[in-house]
């Protein structure tokens, strides 16, 4: 059974810092991996999607990597801003491509 774990559960950093969020999964047979952002009381915003054949994706200040063999992904956020404060969720798509399996998230707080 696929399990997704995110570490740390919470993180507080001052504005301007670079930071890394970690995600690990137990079954390497994934279809793809997606990083989301969730603001309080809101839905999820897709940040980056990495297909199983890819190693990384970049969008602006965000960079996500995928190492399928070790069952790990990282989300790198450069030059963090207070507006980055949110919960970041990692999810893998099962091999059938029918369902996302989520971690419990990392809640990020960036202080000005």
Per CB under 8 A, does 37 bind other proteins?
Answer: no
Kindly state whether residue 31 participates in binding other proteins, applying the rule CB under 8 A. yes
Q: Given the complex with other proteins, which of 51 and 81 has the nearer CB atom?
A: 51
- Residue 105 sits in the site that holds other proteins (CB under 8 A): yes
- Concatenating the DSSP letter of every residue in 19-80 gives EEEEEEES----SEEEEEEE-TTS-EEEEEEEETT-SEEEETTEEEEEETTTTEEEEEE-S-
Residues near other proteins (CB under 8 A)? 4, 31-32, 34, 36, 41-46, 49, 51, 89, 91, 93, 96-105
């Amino acid at each position: 059974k696929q399990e997704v774990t995110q570490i740390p559960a919470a993180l507080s950093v001052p504005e301007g810092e670079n930071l890394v969020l970690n995600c690990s999964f137990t079954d390497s047979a994934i279809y793809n991996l997606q990083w989301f952002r969730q603001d309080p009381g809101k839905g999820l915003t897709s940040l980056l999607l990495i297909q199983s054949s890819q190693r990384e994706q970049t969008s602006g200040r965000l960079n996500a990597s995928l190492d399928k063999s070790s069952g790990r992904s990282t989300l790198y956020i450069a030059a963090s801003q207070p507006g980055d404060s949110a919960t970041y969720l990692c999810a893998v798509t099962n091999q059938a491509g029918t369902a996302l399996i989520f971690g419990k998230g990392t809640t990020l707080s960036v202080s000005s």
